[in-house]
Amino acid sequence: MRNGALAGLRRRSPVHGLDRRNLRPVEVLAQSVSTAAPAAGMATVPAIVATTAGTATVWSFVLATAVALAVGACIATFTRRMAAAGSLYSLTAKGLGPGAAFACGAALLAGYAVLLMAALAGAALYTDAFLTRLGLAAPPAVGAATVVVLAALAGGLVLRGVRVSARIVLAVEAVSITVMLVIFGVLLAGPPAPPAPAAATPGWSLVGVAAGVLPALGAFIGFEAATALGVEARKPFVSVPRAVLGTAGLVGLLSLLAAHTQVVGFAGALGGQPEPVVTLAAAHGTPWLAVLLDLGIATSFVACTLATTNALVRVLFSMARDRIVPRPMGATHGRYRTPHVAIAVAVPVGAAVPAALFLAGVPGLTVLRGLLSVATAGYLVAYLLVALAAPLFLHRIGELTPAPVVVTALAVPVLAGVCGVFVVSALGGAVPIVLGALVLAALAWYAVLRVRRPRELAAIGVYDEPSAADVHTASGPAGRAR
C-alpha cells in the first residue's frame, strides 16, 4: 500500500517560476511588519479607538493583540505544514473546501488591493503634510501625481525580484519604526503637559473596551502577509509562522506603547483628537516632532505599499495557477522570477482609484479612512474563515489536538462579533455601498466559475507541493527511480 505513496509526486512544483527558497527570515518578517504598517497605526489608531473606549483604550489594544495572536496561531497551523503563495486563500482551501476558500480569496484580494490603495493614499497624504509643514503647500493634483509615481516605483521594485523588494521594505520599515520610537520616547520622558481637552470622552466600560477592539484590530491588518512568501522563504515552515506571530506581538507592543503615551498625555481626553501626536508634541514644547512624525508615517506607508503589492500579486498568481482568474496572471518573469503579469494588472488598478479620488477633490483623510475601512472588512472575513479552517484541516490530516480547537473557539466568536460591530458602525456612509458592490461582484464571479470551470473550482488551493527531487529514497531522489 505504501509503495504507491510516492506515485503522486509531481516532477516540479505547481508554483514553479517563483524564486524558490531564497529569502532570509528577517526579510520574511519585514514583509509582515510592513504590511501592518505599525508606525502609521501608532500615530492614528489610538485616537480612533479612544472615541469609543475612552480611558480603556489600552485594554482594547490588549484584547486586539490577543485576537491577532489567536488568528496568527491558526495561520501557523497551516504554515508549519505547507508553503503557499496565495496566503490565507490557499490555506482556507485545505480546511474548508472550495466555496469558503473562494470567499476567503475574494475577501483577501479586496483586502490587499484596497490596502494597497490606502497605503498609496496615505503615503501621498503624509508626504503632502510633511511638505506643508516645511512651507510648501501643494494642490490635490500633486497628491494624485505622487500616488502614480509611487505606484510605478513600487511596481518596478516588486517586479525586480522578491529579494530586492524585501530588502528595501526592511530598510524603510526600520526607519519608520525607529522614528516612532524616538517620538514616543521623547513624549514619555518629558513631564505630562495635558493640552485642553477637545471633547468629552467616555470613561472605563466593558462595552467601550469591546467596541474599541474593531478599530484596534485595524492596526494589525496585514500581519499575515508573510504567508504569501511561503514559496520564496528559505525555511518556510519555520520562518513564516514566526514572522506572522512575531508581527502580531510586535505590533501589539508598539500599539500599547502608543496608546499608553497618548492616553496619559491627554489625561483621558484622547478621543476625537484629529492629530493627537502633533498636539501632544506642541503641548510638550517640541513642535519639530511633528515634522519627524509625518516623515515616519509617510515612510511607513511607502513600505506598506511595497509589501502589500508583494502579497497582492502572489494571491493573484496563485488564483491564476488555480485557473480561477485569467491564466496569464500565473506567468512569471524569466529573469526576476516574479509574477510580472499580475504586477502589470494590479499596480495600475491600485494607483488609479486613490489618484482619481484625489483629483475629484475628496479630502485626503476621508479617502484614507474610507479605504482602510473597506480593507479591514476584507481582512476580518479572511481571518474569520482561516480561524474556522484550522481545526478542520488538522482533523482532515489526522493531527488534531485540543489546543487548536480552544484557540478557534475563542477567536471565531470574537471575530464574528467584531464583523457584526463593523457592519453596524459602517451603516450610513459610502463604505457599505462599496462593500455591497464588491460582494455582488464576487458572487457573480463565483457563479460564472461554477458554470464554466467547476472542476478547477473544486481543486483550488495550489501550494508548493514537494516534488520528486525533494524526497530521499534508497535510489536517490525519487525522480531518478522512475
> How remote is the C-alpha of 358 from its chain's centroid?
23
**Nearest distance from residue 81's CB to other proteins, in Å?**
6
- Residue 350 vs residues 88, 106, 109, 338, 407: alpha-carbon distances, Å: 20, 16, 12, 18, 35
Give me 53's grid cell. Answer: 473606549
Q: Which is nearer to other proteins, 140 or 466 (CB)?
A: 466
**Nearest distance from residue 237's CB to other proteins, in Å?**
4
Helix H or strand E encompassing 286: none
- Is 165 in contact with 157 (CB distance < 8 Å)? yes
| Rounded Cα gap, residues 124 and 174, in angstroms | 20
| Rounded Cα gap, residues 98 and 380, in angstroms | 19
DSSP character at residue 22: -
Q: Does 16 bind other proteins (CB under 8 A)?
A: yes
Q: Does 198 bind other proteins (CB under 8 A)?
A: no
Q: Which residues are 477's β-sheet partners?
A: 472
Subset of 374-413 contacting other proteins (CB under 8 A): 397-399, 401, 403
Q: DSSP string of 98-116?
A: HHHHHHHHHHHHHHHHHHH
Q: Which is nearer to other proteins, 94 or 314 (CB)?
A: 94
Q: Which residues are 467's β-sheet partners?
A: 10
**Nearest distance from residue 335's CB to other proteins, in Å?**
5
Indicate which single residue of 334, 361, 428, 451 sits in contact with other proteins (rule: CB under 8 A).
334
Q: Which is nearer to other proteins, 452 or 472 (CB)?
A: 472
Subset of 79-118 contacting other proteins (CB under 8 A): 80-82, 94
**Nearest distance from residue 398's CB to other proteins, in Å?**
5
**Nearest distance from residue 409's CB to other proteins, in Å?**
17
Q: Which is nearer to other proteins, 131 or 469 (CB)?
A: 469
Q: Which is nearer to other proteins, 20 or 453 (CB)?
A: 20
Counting residues that bind other proteins (by CB under 8 A) gives 47
Measured from the Cβ of residue 341, the count of other Cβ atoms closer than 10 Å reads 19
Q: Please, is 3 exposed, middle or buried when counting C-beta atoms within 10 Å of its C-beta (0-12, 13-18, 19+)?
A: exposed
Helix H or strand E encompassing 462: none
Q: Does 482 bind other proteins (CB under 8 A)?
A: yes
Q: Does 13 bind other proteins (CB under 8 A)?
A: yes
Subset of 435-474 contacting other proteins (CB under 8 A): 465-473
Q: Which is nearer to other proteins, 327 or 335 (CB)?
A: 335
Give me 153's grid cell. Answer: 516605483
Site string for other proteins, 33-72 (x = CB under 8 A): ----------------------------------------
Measured from the Cβ of residue 9, the count of other Cβ atoms closer than 10 Å reads 16
Q: Does 481 bind other proteins (CB under 8 A)?
A: yes
| Rounded Cα gap, residues 355 and 358, in angstroms | 5
Q: Which is nearer to other proteins, 327 or 395 (CB)?
A: 395
Contact range with other proteins by CB under 8 A, out of 4-12, 171-179, 262-270, 451-459: 4-12
Q: Does 26 bind other proteins (CB under 8 A)?
A: no
Q: Which is nearer to other proteins, 237 or 445 (CB)?
A: 237
Give me 364's grid cell. Answer: 485626503
Q: Does 327 bind other proteins (CB under 8 A)?
A: no
SS3 280: helix
Q: Which residues are 16's β-sheet partners?
A: 18
Q: Does 160 bind other proteins (CB under 8 A)?
A: no
Site string for other proteins, 209-238 (x = CB under 8 A): --------------------------x-xx
SS3 8: coil
Q: What are phi and psi of 16, to 5 degrees?
A: -55, 155
Q: DSSP string of 138-151?
A: --HHHHHHHHHHHH
Q: Which is nearer to other proteins, 334 or 361 (CB)?
A: 334
Q: Please, is 164 exposed, middle or buried when counting C-beta atoms within 10 Å of its C-beta (0-12, 13-18, 19+)?
A: middle
Contact range with other proteins by CB under 8 A, out of 2-10, 118-126, 220-228, 429-437: 2-10
Q: Which is nearer to other proteins, 215 or 404 (CB)?
A: 404
Indicate which single residue of 206, 452, 455, 475 sits in contact with other proteins (rule: CB under 8 A).
475
**Nearest distance from residue 95's CB to other proteins, in Å?**
11
- Is 240 in contact with 233 (CB distance < 8 Å)? yes
Residues interacting with other proteins, by CB under 8 A?
Answer: 1-6, 8-13, 16, 19-22, 80-82, 94, 235, 237-238, 334-335, 397-399, 401, 403, 465-473, 475-477, 479-482
